[in-house]
Amino acid sequence: MARMTAADAAVAVLRREGITHAFGVPGGAINPFYAALHRNGEIRHVLARHDEGSSHMAEGYTRTAPGNIGVCVGTSGPAGTDMITGLYSAMADSIPILAITGQVPVAKLHKEDFQSVDIAAVAAPVTKWAVTVMEAAQVPGTLQKAFWLMRTGRPGPVLVDLPIDIQLAEIEFDIDSYEPLPVVRPAATRAHAERVLDLLQQAQYPVIVAGGGIVNADAAARLVEFAELTGIPVIPTLMGWGTIPDDHRLMAGMAGVQTAHRSGNATLLAADCVLGIGNRWASRHTGDLEVYRVGRTFIHVDIEPTQIGRVFAPDYGVVSDARAALEQFIEVARERRAAGRLPDRREWAAECARRRVTMERRTHFDNVPIKPQRVYEEMNRVFGPETRYVSTIGLSQIAATQFLHVYRPRQWLNCGQSGPLGWTVPAALGVCVADPEATVVAICGDYDFQFMMEELAVGAQFNLPYIIVLVNNAYLGLIRQSQGAFDMDYCVQLSFDNLNSSETDGYGVDHVMVAEGLGCKALRVRQPDDILPALESAKKLTAEYQVPVVVEVILERVTNIAMGTALDEIVEFDELATRPEDAPTAVAHSADLATERNLDEVPLIIDSRSSAF
Ligand SMILES: Cc1ncc(C[n+]2csc(CCOP(=O)(O)OP(=O)(O)O)c2C)c(N)n1
Ligand SMILES: [Mg+2]
């Protein structure tokens, strides 16, 4: 046994739980913990410019690699309240992050002391557990339980609040014999798998809806194996995008009322059976539930028992980790195939593949000011399949999902449920810390960028290079579009004449000036043909200077992006692609998909007649 402060014990536990990085902002009530970090010397600390930023960095860090747990640290009072948005975002997307906050001494908790707030109570609804530690000897055990909880069942965040006297108190603690608590995950049984395969077998037009639980279980390869074995097309959710490569012959497109493909919606509506794995029937995926459900059989697999039936009652539910479920399903499917008992799905799969070719939206526009679709077309040209995209909310995010391509899990990093403006810039920094070799590309609207642009200085200080594609329409674009329903354009304009900048042309903030002021590099683009060279230059600048590089694209002020309220009522505002050159970087043209699909049978004339989707 060794005698040490509870703060030293806390840092020692973090190390034994695999923590190598922390994002935070020091303050008086957390100083003993910082002193312990300093003494330990093994945890690299990234100094955020805002506590909310540190919580999103922690999320970005976790989301980048299986097993990662991002840690954010702050002082008492406002530091914890600032982190609430990150905790909510992590909770909503099943992302484990650990928030550690300082607190006033135990004896002063009820005295309305300076910067004292009951942060455990504030954080309770947005964490799996939020606790103020009242006994120093409980610090190691509290953290041990925190890690166990974060990893157990449906993953999620925990907040541990440490009063300053608790941090400073000495305790007996033996770190050498410390072990993380074992995590047991529920697993589908053989009987479950038989039942699921029976239900799929009865269907003529089945699809798999692949959710973020597959990413969390690191089971994308299993998903693809199961899809290939059974020939069933896959519709990834926003959180599951990348679990099957965009150019895979069984990738049927995403379904949803905003972040979706026309082909994905058409295929879902044509399906008679939906097997959801690690998904939660999110409202932006299902849209109107009546339209989504009618005439279809639903099977739902989720690690959290109370998720089954939460949004609607499925015909059959299985409580299981996604990987364990897929492994069972694969075993049964293999046996049935060997026995000649798997239905031939080729015709159905070809029909779904054909929709991907014939239902593209147009991206090739030469307009000045630039139309947003063109930005994503050029991004597809410049950024390869290894790129990690980071995005949050707004028309910029919705268009990104409609037009970009993702080929691997954890390469579309998005706060899918909470969508807090400001998330993109700090989350991308967390991604850079977790994977320093990655090409990281963030997509921001101008307002999203303005929410937390100060975090760019963190990238400049700690040499975290990534590219930010900032699409500037000088509008709260998504809200402006939704205000159409109220026949107004009210409080959504970001435009003004900037006294200090002749460059901005009434668009308001000079983002180039801001980025440069924060120690980053920045470029501004106004012509469609200049997007590609600017993105290429940005790549070079990140490599040369090792700082974030902003590529601001001045967009037309008003563009409406396709969306609706039900899968069969998506409103298209721009032309659809009718010729391959209308959507030259559409995945339908990828060589891989072309051979797989035997394109002799699939006309490359794109069909825009089916306006129902
Ligand atoms: C913290 C927070 N406040 C408000 C909103 C509501 N909201 C969603 S999108 C949006 C406007 C986004 O504007 P911008 O980032 O410029 O993207 P655009 O839609 O113009 O592409 C707002 C205000 C939000 N998502 N998060
Ligand atoms: Mg905007």
Residue range 221-236, pLDDT digits in tens: 999 999 999 999 999 9
Same domain, yes or no, for 205 and 337? yes
- What's residue 368's pLDDT? 98
Same domain, yes or no, for 141 and 196? no
* 381 band by pLDDT with thresholds 50, 70 and 90: very high
* 592 band by pLDDT with thresholds 50, 70 and 90: very low
H or E element that contains 441: strand 440-445
- What's residue 603's pLDDT? 38
Same domain, yes or no, for 326 and 250? yes
Establish if 110 belongs to a structural domain. Answer: yes
- What's residue 472's pLDDT? 98
105-134: average pLDDT: 97
Across the chain, mean pLDDT equals 95
Cβ atoms < 10 Å from Cβ of 83: 34
- What's residue 590's pLDDT? 54
Same domain, yes or no, for 305 and 347? yes
> Which atom of ligand 1 has the smallest separation from the CA of 448?
15
Please count the structural domains in the chain: 3
Which of 258, 401, 476, 558 best tests ligand 1's pocket when mutated (most atoms within 8 Å of CB)? Answer: 476
Q: Please report the sign of the dihedral spanned by the C-alpha atoms of residue 312, residue 318, residue 321, residue 324.
A: negative
Q: Domain ends where: 330, 358, 386?
A: 358
String of DSSP letters for 334-377: HHHHHTT-S---HHHHHHHHHHHHH-PBP-----SSBPHHHHHH
Instruction: State the residue for tokens 């900048």.
Output: 501
104-119: average pLDDT: 97
Distance 366 CA to ligand 2 centre (A): 20
Establish if 568 belongs to a structural domain. Answer: no
Which of 371, 448, 451, 452 best tests ligand 1's pocket when mutated (most atoms within 8 Å of CB)? Answer: 448
| DSSP three-state, residue 232 | coil
Same domain, yes or no, for 465 and 509? yes
Residue range 452-489, pLDDT digits in tens: 999 999 999 999 999 999 999 999 999 999 998 999 99
Cβ atoms < 10 Å from Cβ of 538: 24
* 436 band by pLDDT with thresholds 50, 70 and 90: very high
* 434 band by pLDDT with thresholds 50, 70 and 90: very high
Same domain, yes or no, for 246 and 280? yes
> Which atom of ligand 1 has the smallest separation from the CA of 449?
15
577-587: average pLDDT: 93
Give the residues across from 30 on adjacent strands. Answer: none
Q: Domain ends where: 299, 324, 358?
A: 358
Same domain, yes or no, for 163 and 242? no
| DSSP three-state, residue 172 | strand
Residue range 159-209, pLDDT digits in tens: 999 999 999 999 999 999 999 999 999 999 999 999 999 999 999 999 999
Is residue 60 within 6 Å of ligand 1 at its C-beta? no
- What's residue 587's pLDDT? 84
53-65: average pLDDT: 98
Is residue 475 within 6 Å of ligand 1 at its C-beta? yes
Establish if 570 belongs to a structural domain. Answer: no
Q: Let me know if 411 is exposed, middle or buried by CB neighbors in 10 A (0-12, 13-18, 19+).
A: buried
Establish if 42 belongs to a structural domain. Answer: yes
Same domain, yes or no, for 404 and 534? yes
Establish if 47 belongs to a structural domain. Answer: yes
State how far the Cα of 135 lies from the Cα of 183, in Å rounded to an integer: 26
H helical segments located in 51-110: 51-64, 78-82, 84-92
Establish if 182 belongs to a structural domain. Answer: no
- What's residue 1's pLDDT? 74
Distance 476 CA to ligand 2 centre (A): 5
- What's residue 602's pLDDT? 40
Which structural domain range is residue 518 located in?
372-561
Establish if 35 belongs to a structural domain. Answer: yes
- Using only C-alpha atoms, the chain has a radius of gyration, in whole angstroms, of 25
554-559: average pLDDT: 97
Same domain, yes or no, for 286 and 380? no
Is residue 446 within 6 Å of ligand 1 at its C-beta? yes
b/e map 436-449, b = 16+ CB within 10 Å: eebbbbbbbbbbbb
Distance 452 CA to ligand 2 centre (A): 14
Distance 366 CA to ligand 1 centre (A): 26
371-397: average pLDDT: 98
376 near 363, Cβ under 8 Å? yes
Query: 424-434 vs 51-64: helix axis angle to the nearest 10?
Result: 50
Residues, Cβ < 5 Å to ion ligand 2 = 445-446, 473, 475, 477
Same domain, yes or no, for 403 and 447? yes
- What's residue 197's pLDDT? 98
Same domain, yes or no, for 210 and 68? no
In this structure, what are the phi and psi dihedrals at residue 214, rounded to the nearest 5 degrees? -70, -35
* 589 band by pLDDT with thresholds 50, 70 and 90: low
Asked whether the predicted pLDDT for residue 362 surpasses 80, the reply is yes
Q: What angle do CA 523, 524, 530 make, to 5 degrees?
A: 100
428-449: average pLDDT: 98
Instruction: Write the residue with the smallest CA distance to atom 4 of ligand 1.
Output: 421
Establish if 102 belongs to a structural domain. Answer: yes
Its pTM stands at: 0.96
267-272: average pLDDT: 98
State how far the Cα of 522 lies from the Cα of 550, in Å rounded to an integer: 4
Cβ atoms < 10 Å from Cβ of 13: 22
Q: Residue 521 maps to which CATH number? A: 3.40.50.970
Q: Residue 281 maps to which CATH number? A: 3.40.50.1220
Polymer length in residues for the chain? 613
Instruction: Write the residue with the smallest CA distance to atom 8 of ligand 1.
Output: 394
Asked whether the predicted pLDDT for residue 599 surpasses 70, the reply is no
- What's residue 120's pLDDT? 98
Q: Please report the sign of the dihedral spanned by the C-alpha atoms of residue 471, residue 83, residue 210, residue 406.
A: positive
Q: Domain ends where: 358, 392, 410?
A: 358
Asked whether the predicted pLDDT for residue 364 surpasses 60, the reply is yes
Same domain, yes or no, for 391 and 348? no
